Structure 1
C-alpha cells in the first residue's frame, strides 16, 4: 500500500495576499493545487487539509450585512467555508484525475473552551486592509486587528486541536484509495458539554490540525504549502535568508510571527519530533518540495533531508 502524505494548503495559498476574494481568483489557485496534488497522489495516499482564513473572514463580512438577524457563530461559518473550499478542491481534483475517488469530510475537532487564545486572538481571517480601513472596521464591528506583513487583518481566537472526532471515517476512506479532503479550515471547533458536543467561537489553525492528523494517521510526510517558497529568517528585511535544511532544535532558536509562519513552524517541528519528515514550500512547487528540490525540509537530523540548493 502507498505511504501517506498529509498535504496542508494555506488559505493564503488559495487566495493570495492582496488578491480580490473572488471565486475566479480562488478557482485559479485551486487549479494549480489540483495539478500539484495529482502528482503527489501518484506515489502517496493523500489527505488534504486546507486553510480558510481569507474565506471565513469574507463570509463573516457577508454575515454582517443582515442587520435584522444575529450573526452566525464562527464555528458555523467555518463549516460553511469548509464545504465551499472542499467542493472546489474535489471538483478540480476529479477533473485532473477523472478515475480517482475524491471525498470531502466536514470534520469536527475537539478543543478546550478555556483555551488561552480565547483571550489573546492571533488567527488572521478575512481580506487585508490598509490602516484607515482597518480602524473603521474595528470600531464598527468590535474587531481586533493586527499587522500581517504590509497589511492589517482581523484576528480571532484559535484554540489548539485536541482530538479529531471524524478520524475513523478519514482512515476508512484513505484505506479504500480515496483522496480525502478533511479538517478544512483547521476543522470545526467543538467542545464537550453536559449535553454533548457544542460549537466553539473560533477558528483552528489548519497547520496544527494537519500535524495532529498526520500523527494520528502515522503519515510518512507532512507537507505545508503556502504563498511563501520557504521558511525565512529576518523576513521582510534586507537580511532575509531562507532555511533549506533545518531541525526542530535549530528552529527553536528563532521566533516567527504568531499569525502566519509561527503555527507552520510549530506544526513541522511537532511532526519532525515524532520521527516524521516535514516540509514548507510554495503551492506551485508542491511536488518539488516533497521531493526535496525546493522549500524547507525539517527532520531530526539535517542529513536526513537531501534538498538540492
Structure 2
C-alpha cells in the first residue's frame, strides 16, 4: 500500500475577501475531500497537510486589535491555533464524507512540530506572506503603524510577511507512520508545523515564525518514504514565462529542469516557487517517488496522469503541451 501526502494551501480555503469566514472556509474544505476519500478507497495511505497563511494573519490581526484587553498571541501559538481549527475542518469533512459512503476509518488531526535553526537567515529577511491581500496604500499604512514587514504577493496584492525558516525534521514522523499503518487518515504539518528549536538537552523551544507548508510537507513525505507528494493549487499546471507571450505550461519535467527554472526566477517567490522546490527536493531524495502540482478540482485526473505538472527523477518525455 503506497503513501501519499496531499498538501492544500491556506489560500485555497479563502476564495476571496468576501468568503473568508470560518463557515465559508469549512464549506470550501468540504468540497475538497471527495477525491481524498477516493484515494483511500483506491488503497492509498493518506496524509493531508494544509497551509495557514491567511488564517495565521487573521489571528495576529485580531491579537493586535485586542491588545488593550488581552495579551498578544505569539506567532508560534497562532500557528498552533490554526492547526487545531483547520485540522478540525478537515477531520469533520473527511469523517462526514466517509459516513456518506458507508465507510469507517479513523481520522486524526495531529499537532505537529517542525524543527528549525534559530540561526536560519530567514529571521533577518521575513518573506512568508500571511493574512489578507491588501492594497499597497493600506499595507504601507499598517506597516508604519504596527512595524510590519510587507511585500507584494505574486501580483495579487500586498501582505504582511514573517520569517519562514527551513525545517530540518518533523518531530512526529514516527507517530504519523504508526497512525497510517493502523489505517488512519492523518491531518499533519498544518501550516508547515509549529516551528521549534531543539535545545542540547532535548527540550524544545517555540520559535516565532511560519514554516512553508510545501517545504514541510515535502520533508515529511521524504521522512515517511512516501511514493507521492501532491500539491493542489489554483492552476492545472505549472507554467514558465507566466503571464508573458512566451508562457508555456509544463507537463513532465525532471528535478534538474525544475531547479534550473527556479534558479532563473521563473516562479513567484511566495506562490509557485516553494511548491516546485518542495516537490523537486522530495523527488531528488526519495527513490521511486513522484511529485505533482495541479488544480485541486482535478485530483482524479492528476492521479490518472492526465493533468498536473509531474516532477520526476529520470529524463521524461515531452516537457510541455
TM-score (norm 2): 0.91
SS of match in other structure, 1:253? helix
Q: Is the CA contact 2:239–2:250 (under 8 Å) kept in the aligned structure 1?
A: yes
Q: Are 2:75 and 1:74 equivalent residues in the alignment?
A: yes
Question: Equivalent of 1:141, from 139, 146, 153?
Answer: 146
Unaligned runs of 5+ in 1: none
Per-residue CA deviations over 1:4-33 (Å, capped at 9, x if unaligned) read 011111111222354542123312220122
Q: Are 2:300 and 1:299 equivalent residues in the alignment?
A: no
Unaligned runs of 5+ in 2: none
Q: Are 2:131 and 1:120 equivalent residues in the alignment?
A: no
Change (3 A) 1:177 1:304: farther
- The aligned residue for residue 157 of structure 1 is 163
SS of match in other structure, 2:316? helix
CA distance, structure 2, for counterparts of residue 19 and residue 214 of structure 1: 34
SS of match in other structure, 2:31? helix
- The aligned residue for residue 37 of structure 1 is 36
Q: Is the CA contact 2:248–2:320 (under 8 Å) kept in the aligned structure 1?
A: no
Per-residue CA deviations over 1:263-308 (Å, capped at 9, x if unaligned) read 1111011112123100001111122223221110110135389x99
- The aligned residue for residue 262 of structure 1 is 273
Change (3 A) 1:93 1:72: same
Change (3 A) 1:232 1:269: same
Q: Are 2:179 and 1:178 equivalent residues in the alignment?
A: no
- The aligned residue for residue 58 of structure 1 is 58
Question: Equivalent of 2:227, from 212, 220, 223?
Answer: 220
Q: Is the CA contact 2:258–2:311 (under 8 Å) kept in the aligned structure 1?
A: no
Runs of 4+ in 1 over 3 A off after TM superposition: 17-20, 302-305
SS of match in other structure, 1:225? strand
Once structures 1 and 2 are overlaid, which stretch shifts more, 37-46 or 196-205? 37-46
Change (3 A) 1:169 1:182: same
- The aligned residue for residue 296 of structure 2 is 283
SS of match in other structure, 2:55? helix
Q: CA RMSD in A?
A: 1.8
How many residue pairs get aligned? The number is 307
TM-score (norm 1): 0.94
